[in-house]
Structure 1
Amino acid sequence: MSAQTQAKKQLKEYTRDEVAKHNKKGDCWIIIDAQVYNVSKFVELHPGGESVFYDEDVAGQEATETFFGLHRHEVLLKPQYQRLIIGKIAGEESKIKPLPLGSISPVPYGEPTWLQPKFYTPYYNDSHRRLQREVRAYVDTQIVDIAQACEANGKRPDLALVKDMGAKGLNAMRMGPGKHLHGRKLFADIKPEEFDYFHELVITQELVRCAARGFGDGLNGGMVIGLPPILNFGSDELKAEIVEPVLAGDKFICLAVSEAFAGSDVMGTRTFAQKQDDGSYIVNGTKKWITNGMFADYFTTLAKTDDGFAVLCIPRTEGVETKQIKTSYSTTAGTAYITFDNVRVPAKYVVGEDGLGIQIVLSNFNHERWVMCCSTIRSSRAVCEQVMLWINQRKAFGKSLSSQAVVRQKLGALLSQVEAAQAWLEVVTYQMCKMSYKEQSIHLAGQVAFLKAWSTRVSHEVADSSVQIFGGRGITKSGMGKFIEEFNRTYKFDAVLGGSEEVLSDLGVRQALRFMPDNYKL
């Protein structure tokens, strides 16, 4: 029996009438979830003032409903508030308990359908479920606290965490299935030959539950989009220098494509790489909004050349300068403005061939956008879970918010869209598992473009309606609506990064038009 359990068993019991006698200044008790709190001294320190206890007729009374209308349960679990507990109500037991870390949420629609009890799936097997359980436990116990701290202080993710993920095989698994997994020991004892895109989807969707969007990108987001060109097109020499150190967390890499003058128009790239007689290149130009650029050791860079475009993996060396860009989310992502000033890049750092830069970059976009779909759809669901909890405990106009038809209609629309988005994502993921990399680039570019554009429209609706339902709390960085505020402030990143909604919708239609039959008319 733990000391905490023993302490609870030894709590003195009081009747509600006995508690009711302690209802004045200097002698104030309250009841929350069958436990008796002596707040006589605390009321003077209460951030909301003393009036909450006295003017609202809380002193000496049942305060469970009042408390949970104002505070999250985690507040009660803090040591300073646990010390206020002096007893319990005779014959009653506490009903509200935090879920054990790593648990599946019991809130309806709080989890994707395949994780909900009594539902079936054609996509996930026992290895996916085992991976989900172990990744969730790892995230809840090893990542969440670090994520929230980094989100607040703006510092890059802890190097020890990144290296631990590397040692456990998680960094490699975030790159998707491929030869880079062969012979590697993977997290949750997943066999390299059985690892597929659904395993990667599980990892991505579990990681975003830490509810720290800037940290999420800071946690090797640059690797996820900057390393694939090296894996798929790099020379053996280049792979030998870069791949293992990056996967181990010893080195960091980012993708440097976007520019102030180009944006989604990669053909508008102005950074220029002038080839020299010895085969090296001199690079001049700038890149903007580069995730992880502030702490990257390598920059997978698209540049114009005399032969068209090339991808160069530029080491951080003389002439490379990075400046912090402060965005809507935390600086923990390391978002940077990069200047290349006469940077000499040896020939060995050319990725693939000079002249094939655009093809290499475009081949990378499908996976990048799909990862973003995994993230934004799961983040939207997490917000819906918060809304479900809120409307079930918050009262307004004398009634629970869940009794208001307009609130139920709003939430119903959100849940429907989130479920549909996850279902479409899983259909696309299944196609990815069945298609070769080349087939994906031909047949799925439009599907993934549409999915990303639509899923970020879903996140827009989720952000907007959740703020309306939470009210002022939805735009406050602490308290009941802190996760709503964070989502509303950061969801637009997915709508812009990797191609804006408008550009991707256009791409999807153009891809479809390529396959229009010539022999079929209205």
Structure 2
Amino acid sequence: MAWRAPAGAPDGDPRNGGRGMTTEIQAPTTIPGGSFVTGPVGPDGIFTPEQLTAEHRSIRDAVGAFVEREVEPRLERVEAKDWAAHRELLERMGGDGFLGVDVPETYGGAGLDRVTSVVVNAAMAAAGGFAVTYAAHTGIGTLPLVFFGTDEQKRRYLPGLAAGTTVGAYALTEPSAGSDAMAIRTKATRQADGSWRLDGSKQFITNAGFADLFTIYAKVDGEHFSAFLVERSTPGLVVGPEEDKLGLHGSSPCPVTLEGAVVPADNLLGEAGKGHRVAFNVLNVGRFKLAAACLGGMRPAIGIATRYAAERSAFGRRIIDFPLIGAKLAGMAARTYAVESAVYRIAGLLEARLAAAEDATSPDAMRAALEEYAIECSLAKVLASEELGAIVDELVQIHGGYGYIEAYPAARFYRDARIHRIWEGTNEINRLLVPGTLLKRAMTGRLDVLGPASRAQDALLGGDLPSFEGRLASERAAVASLRTVTLLLAGAAAQRYGTSLEDEQELLAGLADLAIELFTTERVVERALAAVASGAGGDGGPHADLASLIVAERVAAAEARAKQLAGRVAEGDDARTLVAGIRRLLRTDPIDQVAISRRIAAAVSERAGYPLS
């Protein structure tokens, strides 16, 4: 079902359905994935939350109202594993069109843009365990079919998935195969009549307790990785008991056993032996959607922390008036700003890539866009999940002892956030993917990394440091120097270890950290400069302060990480020269971070939450 427009909605209201609402991205459409490492894109290549249209904001508000009106009154049932409540909510969301954002109109969805997908996923984060039900259903439970299904398969299943009358689940993980997805042992055997017999076990399958349709991965003849659409009613498919979990109590991960489950021939999803294409593309979009969901949990956490700090008193003062509490709130706001800037930038990249395609609505176009920006999707997942973890930790700390009490929301936020660093590929796996994919693209000539790395080597030996004028000039220079350091160390690592670099996991993870810091700091500076140019708050207001604080903290962290890596890519005098070069490149003028933090904290206090709309 397409978006249901309210009475009197204008013709352009996105809830009237269709991809008629697209995001205007004033950007080059050929920005290669990973190219942020090799050079700046420039101010025309960005998309920020400030560019959200009235339609985007309308949808965000509608989803927020749905959570408040429909989910919150059922939250006790949701958290108590009342799956009937989950199904009720899914059907209500389907009726309002919220489940079909990524489903083409042809098959009962709305077919809206990537930015809308971010907006909806972020707005759903306040829905407790039901947010996981929603995310698993609309993401990994539906998108394999959207991207790889035949027309007949889509017509059979997508309308029900978009309406919420059919619930989707995704079964890849096994007891002995988690991050190593290609090591699954579930077997698919072709029968004489062309059907498939599936045998094996799956673990931690979200929505399994009440799902109707499973995307299940198995190896044909124990060798060829493939995907199948399996209905719950299939004889031989057995759903095990609910897992007793640390967090996300209101979600349903169960083991699934396949004991001679026979699947019709036409329920093979994609091609036999090509299931990895299904899995990896869906994981890319899953990582991006997870980053958006993590982002969605940050603003509510700041609001809860701020309101509690304003109400709680100690030593005759509200605790929000203590500078150390203010510093915590400012840090939470800065982390949110960083993730927000990164996630919306990636949404803009994806949308620009789709806009350049012959048919922006085709699954092929979306698969190509996701593959192009796989690096960005991985780093966004790492960044967002770890920043959310830090934010909810501060949420508990600000509450003091009450943060440890289940009657207060801080405890649930803390428990529920931990899983995000594990699923959709652990953060360790995603850290390895970032430099690994970059280097593969460099070796195949798809992305010129070696040329810029060579120029970075020249910069090590001397020459002028990057210099800019105007607002945030020192921050822009720091970002440019961080790019040089990242290239310098990546080039040195490749030169020293060659093809054995893949065994240097600690080094690869360190390079990923530098890439994440580079991507993040550049995004916040771009966004703040756009705010300055628009006249927001005179000289950029909270934007400029947030960018300055983020760059100061993250460049300092990057310098420490870079020095650590230098000892692994060089020895003796070469290592000392490298460290001296890193110090020279990342040397920044001191700024009054305390004053900046206090201004941000005051803005948080004034708005009783995140300081930007």
TM-score, length-scaled by structure 1:
0.70
Write the letter of the residue equivalent to 1:477.
Answer: E
Q: CA deviation at 1:252?
A: 1.6
Q: Structure 2 matches for 1:101-140, cutoff 5 A?
A: 123-140=51-68
Q: Structure 2 matches for 1:372-387, cutoff 5 A?
A: 372-387=290-305
Structure 2 residue ranges without an equivalent (≥5) = 1-47, 355-365, 443-448, 458-613
May I ask how many residue pairs the two structures share in their alignment?
387
Q: Is the 8 A contact 1:291 1:333 kept in 2?
A: yes
Q: Are residue 449 (structure 1) and residue 449 (structure 2) matched?
A: no
User: Residue 216 and residue 514 in structure 1: after superposition, are their counterparts in 2 closer, same or farther (change >3 A)?
Assistant: same
Higher share of residues assigned helix: 2
Name the counterpart of 2:575: none
Q: Are residue 181 (structure 1) and residue 95 (structure 2) matched?
A: no
2:192 aligned counterpart, secondary structure: coil
Q: Is the 8 A contact 1:256 1:299 kept in 2?
A: yes
2:293 aligned counterpart, secondary structure: helix
Name the counterpart of 1:471: 400
Q: Are residue 425 (structure 1) and residue 340 (structure 2) matched?
A: no
Q: Is the 8 A contact 1:231 1:239 kept in 2?
A: yes
Q: CA deviation at 1:184?
A: 5.3
Q: Is the 8 A contact 1:223 1:254 kept in 2?
A: no
Whole-Å separation in 2 of the counterparts to 1:297 and 1:398: 57
Q: CA deviation at 1:500?
A: 0.9
Q: Is the 8 A contact 1:157 1:218 kept in 2?
A: no
Write the letter of the residue equivalent to 2:286.
Answer: E
1:312 to 228, 242, 264: 228
1:255 to 167, 170, 176: 170
Q: Is the 8 A contact 1:387 1:469 kept in 2?
A: yes
Write the letter of the residue equivalent to 2:400.
Answer: G
Whole-Å separation in 2 of the counterparts to 1:360 and 1:131: 29
Question: More displaced, 199-208 or 129-138?
Answer: 129-138
Question: More displaced, 161-170 or 469-478?
Answer: 161-170
The root-mean-square deviation of aligned C-alpha atoms, in Å, is 2.0
Name the counterpart of 1:22: none
Higher share of residues assigned strand: 1
1:170 aligned counterpart, secondary structure: coil
User: Residue 144 and residue 512 in structure 1: after superposition, are their counterparts in 2 closer, same or farther (change >3 A)?
Assistant: same
User: Residue 261 and residue 183 in structure 1: after superposition, are their counterparts in 2 closer, same or farther (change >3 A)?
Assistant: closer
Name the counterpart of 1:486: 412
Q: Is the 8 A contact 1:233 1:352 kept in 2?
A: yes
2:307 to 389, 394, 399: 389
Q: CA deviation at 1:430?
A: 0.5
Whole-Å separation in 1 of the counterparts to 2:450 and 2:399: 53
Q: Structure 2 matches for 1:314-393, cutoff 5 A?
A: 314-316=230-232, 317-323=234-240, 324-393=242-311
Q: CA deviation at 1:368?
A: 1.0
1:216 aligned counterpart, secondary structure: helix
Name the counterpart of 1:101: none
Q: Is the 8 A contact 2:122 2:292 kept in 1?
A: yes
User: Residue 407 and residue 231 in structure 1: after superposition, are their counterparts in 2 closer, same or farther (change >3 A)?
Assistant: same
Q: Is the 8 A contact 1:283 1:341 kept in 2?
A: yes
Q: Is the 8 A contact 1:326 1:335 kept in 2?
A: no
Q: Structure 2 matches for 1:42-61, cutoff 5 A?
A: none
Q: CA deviation at 1:337?
A: 0.5
- Give the number of the structure whose alpha-carbon radius of gyration is greater: 1
2:333 aligned counterpart, secondary structure: helix
Whole-Å separation in 2 of the counterparts to 1:297 and 1:185: 19
Name the counterpart of 2:113: 196
Whole-Å separation in 2 of the counterparts to 1:262 and 1:272: 14
Q: Structure 2 matches for 1:224-263, cutoff 5 A?
A: 224-263=139-178
User: Residue 256 and residue 381 in structure 1: after superposition, are their counterparts in 2 closer, same or farther (change >3 A)?
Assistant: same
Q: Structure 2 matches for 1:87-98, cutoff 5 A?
A: none
User: Residue 390 and residue 380 in structure 1: after superposition, are their counterparts in 2 closer, same or farther (change >3 A)?
Assistant: same
Question: More displaced, 237-246 or 501-510?
Answer: 237-246
Whole-Å separation in 2 of the counterparts to 1:275 and 1:463: 49
Write the letter of the residue equivalent to 2:431.
Answer: S
Q: Are residue 462 (structure 1) and residue 401 (structure 2) matched?
A: no
Q: Is the 8 A contact 2:108 2:162 kept in 1?
A: no
Deviations 1:335-376 (A, max 9, x none): 110100111111111001101001111011121111111111
Q: Is the 8 A contact 2:218 2:226 kept in 1?
A: yes
2:99 aligned counterpart, secondary structure: helix
Write the letter of the residue equivalent to 1:167.
Answer: G
Name the counterpart of 2:132: 217
Q: CA deviation at 1:325?
A: 1.4
Higher relative contact order (CA 8 A, sep 6+): 2
User: Residue 122 and residue 489 in structure 1: after superposition, are their counterparts in 2 closer, same or farther (change >3 A)?
Assistant: closer
Q: Are residue 402 (structure 1) and residue 320 (structure 2) matched?
A: yes
Name the counterpart of 1:299: 214
1:333 aligned counterpart, secondary structure: coil
Whole-Å separation in 1 of the counterparts to 2:106 and 2:263: 31
Deviations 1:54-88 (A, max 9, x none): xxxxxxxxxxxxxxxxxxxxxxxxxxxxxxxxxxx
Q: Are residue 164 (structure 1) and residue 92 (structure 2) matched?
A: yes
2:432 to 502, 506, 511: 506
Whole-Å separation in 2 of the counterparts to 1:499 and 1:474: 29
Name the counterpart of 1:14: none
Deviations 1:169-202 (A, max 9, x none): 21112xx2x5x2248585xxxxx5xx31111222
Q: Is the 8 A contact 1:310 1:353 kept in 2?
A: yes
Q: CA deviation at 1:159?
A: 3.0
Structure 1 residue ranges without an equivalent (≥5) = 1-119, 187-191
Whole-Å separation in 2 of the counterparts to 1:259 and 1:366: 20
Whole-Å separation in 1 of the counterparts to 2:87 and 2:431: 38
